[in-house]
């Protein structure tokens, strides 16, 4: 059992491992918290379900699963109400809220995150999107072949738009020349299309896969892989990739499929996404908060998308991150984290209606959130604990995750 349960009053601590794991679609406002069994195994909740439709439009470390969000939206919110996520990240809260007809607002300091959430929650003309996807890929491939064969490239591309060369050190280090050329051609061409913001996400996802890194280390590459290597993922010798076009094609198809799937579920509920620091941002009256904040000293959220920031010329606001991995997890770092988080929830909770819930989902191994709640003048009503034991791959360690349910202190 986690430290949270050891140090929090038993009357508010709930951990249920009995019976069948909870199905999110079965939850309603009358569902007792005590009945929730959130300890899904991989069999109970396979990756395909956890990453349904646009939730896997782009890889993102540190996101929470949509089923957790859906359960607490169904429990505490009604259609037509408004939920805020002050750390909207990859947009899980906003995506699931829209499915349920709940208006949503998201803050994030990362420009890439804002781009990603807008792409996920956009309302697309599917026929136009399909045509633009095919045309953009076909033009990229045609021009890439002309460049490779040194035929009429400058008359068709460079003189009309811009050079496809770059002096960006990161891009020239982490991509083979052919792959980088294909990415840059796609980047130049996408500016002509209505769905250019979505195409930036396809471009970013392709860039992630096309980097000079091993197939088994896309999350945490330390240095470019330029020589053949033994691949633990494929159990054979593999070559570093020199091709981006195949990824652009693959992710274009996958993206369109996911957009279609989500278009059948999305509603007319509003989605408002703001590139802002939630410690200081203002918002309209809201009915509650659901969020999964960054953990202290675990992930550098800007750095995980370095390729996107360099390729898309995005502004790096990493100095504004709370709990960044580069700041460590020392006693000082934890104190700074608590102060910053308390500022976030003190600022945002003042916009929550009376009796509205502030729901924070965190792996709180250091037992920081009861004190953060006190500092933010919140009343802790319940802690729902769940055993996270369904993860796969290199990050398959088990741990406890806590769902803190607060209200404003009157």
pLDDT of 394 over the 70 cut: no
pLDDT tens sequence across 284-341:
999 999 999 999 998 888 999 999 999 999 999 999 999 999 999 999 999 999 999 9
CATH entry 1.10.287.130 includes domain 3-122+274-306+315-408: no
pLDDT of 408 over the 80 cut: yes
Indicate the burial class of 257 (C-beta count within 10 angstroms; 0-12, 13-18, 19 or more). Answer: exposed
Parallel/antiparallel/unpaired status of strands 271-275 and 103-108: parallel
Structure tokens that stand for 387 in this block: 């055993």
Please give the Cα distance from 261 to 58 (Å, whole number).
16
pLDDT tens sequence across 191-211:
999 999 999 999 999 999 999
Q: What share of the chain is helix, strand, coil (3-state, %, to 5)?
A: 45, 15, 40
The pTM for the full model equals 0.91
- Determine what percent of the chain is predicted with pLDDT higher than 70: 91
CATH 3.40.50.150 placement within the chain: 3-122+274-306+315-408
The answer to whether residues 188 and 162 touch, using CB atoms and an 8 Å cutoff, is yes
Q: What is the pLDDT of residue 230?
A: 87
pLDDT of 104 over the 70 cut: yes
pLDDT band at 396 (very low <50, low <70, confident <90, very high): low
pLDDT of 3 over the 60 cut: no
Q: What is the pLDDT of residue 17?
A: 77
pLDDT band at 43 (very low <50, low <70, confident <90, very high): confident
Q: What is the pLDDT of residue 110?
A: 97
pLDDT of 399 over the 60 cut: yes
DSSP element (H, E) containing 12: none
Tell me which residue of 130, 389, 154, 87 sits closest to 253, measured CA to CA.
Answer: 130
Please give the Cα distance from 322 to 308 (Å, whole number).
21
pLDDT tens sequence across 44-56:
888 888 999 999 9
pLDDT tens sequence across 335-392:
999 999 999 999 999 999 999 999 999 989 899 999 999 999 999 999 999 988 755 4
Mean pLDDT for all residues in the chain:
90
Bigger pLDDT: 228 or 389?
A: 228
**How many CB atoms are located within 10 Å of the residue 330 CB?**
11
pLDDT band at 157 (very low <50, low <70, confident <90, very high): low
Tell me which residue of 90, 22, 51, 95 sits closest to 393, measured CA to CA.
Answer: 51
For the segment 129-142, the average pLDDT, to the nearest whole number, is 96
Q: What is the pLDDT of residue 407?
A: 97
pLDDT of 29 over the 50 cut: yes
pLDDT band at 281 (very low <50, low <70, confident <90, very high): very high
Structure tokens that stand for 382 in this block: 């319940």
Bigger pLDDT: 232 or 262?
A: 262
Q: What is the pLDDT of residue 376?
A: 97
**Which spans in 302-360 are helix H?**
306-311, 331-349
pLDDT band at 163 (very low <50, low <70, confident <90, very high): low
Please give the Cα distance from 180 to 194 (Å, whole number).
24
pLDDT band at 234 (very low <50, low <70, confident <90, very high): confident
| Residue reference for tokens 């369904």 | 390
pLDDT band at 255 (very low <50, low <70, confident <90, very high): very high
Please give the Cα distance from 391 to 365 (Å, whole number).
18
pLDDT tens sequence across 55-100:
999 999 888 899 999 999 999 999 999 999 999 999 999 999 999 9
DSSP letters of 365-380? TT--HHHHHHHTTEEE
pLDDT of 9 over the 90 cut: no
């Amino acid at each position: 059992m986690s430290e949270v349960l050891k140090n929090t009053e038993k009357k508010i601590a709930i951990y249920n491992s009995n019976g069948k794991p909870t199905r999110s679609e079965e939850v309603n406002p009358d569902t007792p918290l005590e009945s929730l069994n959130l300890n899904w195994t991989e069999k109970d909740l396979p990756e395909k379900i956890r990453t349904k439709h646009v939730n896997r439009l782009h890889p993102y470390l540190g996101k929470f699963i949509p089923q957790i969000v859906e359960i607490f939206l169904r429990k505490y919110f009604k259609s037509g109400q408004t939920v805020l996520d002050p750390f909207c990240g990859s947009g899980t809260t906003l995506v699931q809220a829209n499915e349920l007809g709940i208006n949503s607002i998201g803050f994030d300091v990362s420009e890439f995150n804002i781009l990603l959430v807008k792409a996920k929650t956009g309302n697309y003309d599917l026929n136009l999107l399909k045509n633009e996807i095919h045309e953009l890929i076909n033009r990229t491939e045609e021009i890439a072949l002309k460049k490779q064969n040194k035929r009429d490239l400058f008359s068709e591309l460079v003189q009309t738009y811009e050079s496809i060369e770059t002096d960006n050190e990161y891009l020239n280090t982490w991509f083979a020349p052919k792959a980088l050329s294909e990415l840059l051609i796609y980047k130049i061409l996408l500016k002509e299309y209505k769905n250019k913001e979505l195409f930036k996400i396809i471009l970013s996802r392709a860039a992630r896969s096309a980097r000079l890194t091993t197939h088994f280390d896309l999350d945490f590459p330390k240095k470019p892989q330029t020589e053949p290597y033994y691949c633990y993922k494929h159990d054979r010798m593999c070559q570093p990739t020199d091709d981006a076009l195949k990824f652009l094609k693959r992710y274009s198809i996958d993206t369109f499929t996911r957009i279609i799937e989500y278009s059948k579920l999305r509603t007319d509920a509003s989605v408002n996404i703001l590139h802002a620091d939630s410690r200081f941002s203002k918002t309209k009256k809201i009915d509650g908060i659901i969020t999964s904040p960054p953990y202290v000293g675990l992930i550098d959220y800007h750095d995980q998308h370095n390729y996107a920031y360099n390729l898309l010329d995005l502004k790096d606001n990493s100095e504004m991150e709370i709990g960044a991995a580069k700041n460590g997890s020392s006693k000082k770092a934890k104190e700074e984290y608590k102060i910053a988080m308390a500022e976030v929830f003190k600022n945002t909770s003042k916009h929550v209606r009376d009796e509205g819930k502030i729901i924070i989902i965190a792996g709180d191994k250091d037992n920081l959130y009861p004190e953060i709640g006190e500092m933010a003048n919140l009343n802790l009503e319940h802690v729902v604990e769940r055993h996270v034991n369904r993860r796969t791959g290199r990050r398959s360690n088990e741990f406890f995750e806590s769902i803190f349910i607060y209200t404003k202190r009157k």
